[in-house]
Amino acid sequence: MPRCRHCKKEAIVFKHWFWMCKEHFLTYYLNRVKRVLDKFDLKDKRLLVAVSWGKDSQALLDVMAELKPHYGYYLEWLFIKLWVGDACSIQSGFGVVDEEIGRGFNKFCRSAYESIMEIANKHSIKISVVDLEREYGHSVPELAAKWWKACSVCGTSKRYVMNRFARENNFDIILTWHNLTDLVIFANLNIVASKYDEVLNVASYWLPWNKDLKLVGKLKPQFRLEEEDNELYCSLKWINYVSSSISCPLNDKKSTHNIFETYVKDLEKKYNYSYHFMKSLRKTLNFDNLVSKWEAKFCKKCWYLTNSSDGICRFCKIMNFKNEKISPKTRLW
Ligand SMILES: [Zn+2]
Ligand SMILES: [Zn+2]
């Protein structure tokens, strides 16, 4: 039976060449988060946890609540409600999403919402909800049932809503749920697509404030933790978590992202790949170029930042699709 390298108790996990027991794994987890947070003065800062669903978000909310007394920040959770009403009533539109998948999506989001709610209640964290359908007109399954790709709609909506909510409610920092495994997958995808600005964003744990560009600073506290660390953290803390084997019903299983995910996770297990990849990638990048390359161009509808040539941001395009003259057969990407 393997033994913990620190205390010689029974070990439960092998990390970075060493075996660890339950207690020392939890200490390791906290220390990895602290290594990111210690770079900032967080005393009295207003932090917004923008959780999505799944174990990464649940672990993030829990660990940030645990560390609150140590750093003295204010913490609030923003939940973006993406599903349709209470019952599912999607018109199947062009047939991309059928009713069964739509109902599955509602069920998936609701169970994630309820388990995150348990953590928020346990730590008495204030919750704010932005209902996409009520406030902006459309839910994710409804948009996916038209001609937008579900993951693209979901990602664009979450990024837009969290920045806007944080800015309009005077938050200093948005905390996002990205872990090392996710970031290495995104870095690989962006390198292949030659999107080097994106690689820079992915390889940084901090995207700074830019008041002129209306961007709130974003921090990734789980930057040094792998996906399996979050899953283990949740199971050890008895958090009723959404397992990585359950994925969003709208997720396209054959997407390039999913192919890269399988390959990165396999290499991560065998060769500690994510750790080595990120370490050598960061050595090659110049982080002084973060954000500053953006030209200040604002959307004609909402006055938030866009780089689109027609002056309408992607979020406004998605939400106003009924007013745009786009043929239903034309997929935008
Ligand atoms: Zn130990
Ligand atoms: Zn806009």
Q: What is the CATH number of the domain that holds 254?
A: 3.40.50.620
Which residues are placed with Cβ below 5 angstroms of ligand 1, an ion?
Answer: 4, 6-7, 9, 21, 24
Say whether both 276 and 199 belong to one domain.
Answer: yes
Which residues are placed with Cβ below 5 angstroms of ligand 2, an ion?
Answer: 299, 301-302, 313, 316
* Residue 18 in domain: yes
- Read off φ and ψ for residue 309, nearest 5 degrees: -70, -25
Find the 3 Cα to ligand 1 centroid distance in Å: 8
pLDDT in tens, the chain (333 residues): 899 999 999 999 998 889 999 999 999 999 999 999 999 999 999 999 987 667 888 899 999 999 999 999 999 998 887 776 543 333 333 333 456 666 777 777 777 777 778 888 899 999 888 888 888 888 777 777 665 677 778 888 889 999 999 999 999 999 998 999 999 999 999 999 888 888 988 999 998 888 888 999 999 999 999 999 999 999 999 877 766 666 666 666 667 888 888 899 999 988 899 999 999 999 988 877 665 566 778 999 999 988 888 889 989 988 876 544 333 333 332
Find the 29 Cα to ligand 1 centroid distance in Å: 13
d(CA 283, CA 324): 44
Closest listed ligand to the CA of 27: 1
Find the 160 Cα to ligand 2 centroid distance in Å: 9
What predicted TM-score, i.e. pTM, was given to this entire model? 0.86
d(CA 58, CA 66): 12
pLDDT at 322: 55
State the burial class of residue 316 (Cβ atoms within 10 Å of its Cβ: 0-12, 13-18, 19+). Answer: buried
Based on its alpha-carbon atoms, the radius of gyration of the chain, rounded to whole angstroms, reads 20
Closest listed ligand to the CA of 18: 1
* Residue 113 in domain: yes
Which of 155, 152, 134 shows the shortest CA–CA distance to 144? 152
Find the 305 Cα to ligand 2 centroid distance in Å: 8
Find all residues with CB under 8 Å of 134, minimum gap 6, and list them.
none
Say whether both 2 and 76 belong to one domain.
Answer: no
* Residue 116 in domain: yes
Say whether both 61 and 151 belong to one domain.
Answer: yes
Say whether both 114 and 193 belong to one domain.
Answer: yes
DSSP H or E run through 31 = helix 22-37
Burial letters 98-132, b for 16+ CB under 10 A, else e: eeebbbbbbebbeebbebbeebbeeeebeeeebeb
Closest listed ligand to the CA of 20: 1
pLDDT at 54: 76
d(CA 98, CA 301): 31
Say whether both 4 and 98 belong to one domain.
Answer: no
Find the 321 Cα to ligand 2 centroid distance in Å: 12
State the burial class of residue 201 (Cβ atoms within 10 Å of its Cβ: 0-12, 13-18, 19+). Answer: middle
Say whether both 16 and 63 belong to one domain.
Answer: no
pLDDT at 321: 61
Tally of structural domains, the chain: 2
Which tokens hold the place of 223?
Answer: 């930057």
Which of 151, 258, 332, 215 shows the shortest CA–CA distance to 201? 215
pLDDT at 252: 67
Q: Where are the beta strands (DSSP E) in 143-302?
A: 173-175, 206-207, 217-219
Say whether both 15 and 99 belong to one domain.
Answer: no
Say whether both 29 and 139 belong to one domain.
Answer: no
Say whether both 172 and 283 belong to one domain.
Answer: yes
* Cβ neighbours, 10 Å, residue 293: 9
Domain containing 184 equals 41-295
* Cβ neighbours, 10 Å, residue 180: 24
Say whether both 1 and 88 belong to one domain.
Answer: no
Say whether both 56 and 16 belong to one domain.
Answer: no
Find the 278 Cα to ligand 2 centroid distance in Å: 33
Say whether both 27 and 154 belong to one domain.
Answer: no
